[in-house]
Amino acid sequence: MSLKEQVEKALEKIRPSLRADGGDVELVEVTEDGIVKVRLQGACRGCPMSQMTLKLGIERTLKQEIPEVKEVQSV
């Protein structure tokens, strides 16, 4: 399974909680050096807590499940 496929699978576990608050996350790119680029959507896009969601929710979960992930960035 490719790194991108692993990230997509892990994001599927995160999506229900984002959707419960009216948001979502779109995977844009996974670089060879472990940088995951995502786009927050819906209510998450303009939420003042979006950076916390990105770092403490999405990034932490991805790093726990996929050791190759070094950072998650919003684009």
CATH of the domain at 28: 3.30.300.130
Is the pLDDT at 4 greater than 90? The verdict is yes
- The structural domain count of the chain equals 1
pTM here is 0.91
Q: What is the CA radius of gyration of the chain?
A: 11
State residue 59's pLDDT score.
95
> What mean pLDDT is predicted for residues 10-36?
95
For residue 56, what are the domain limits?
Answer: 3-74
Q: Alpha-carbon distance 13 to 61, whole Å?
A: 9
Is the pLDDT at 47 greater than 90? The verdict is no
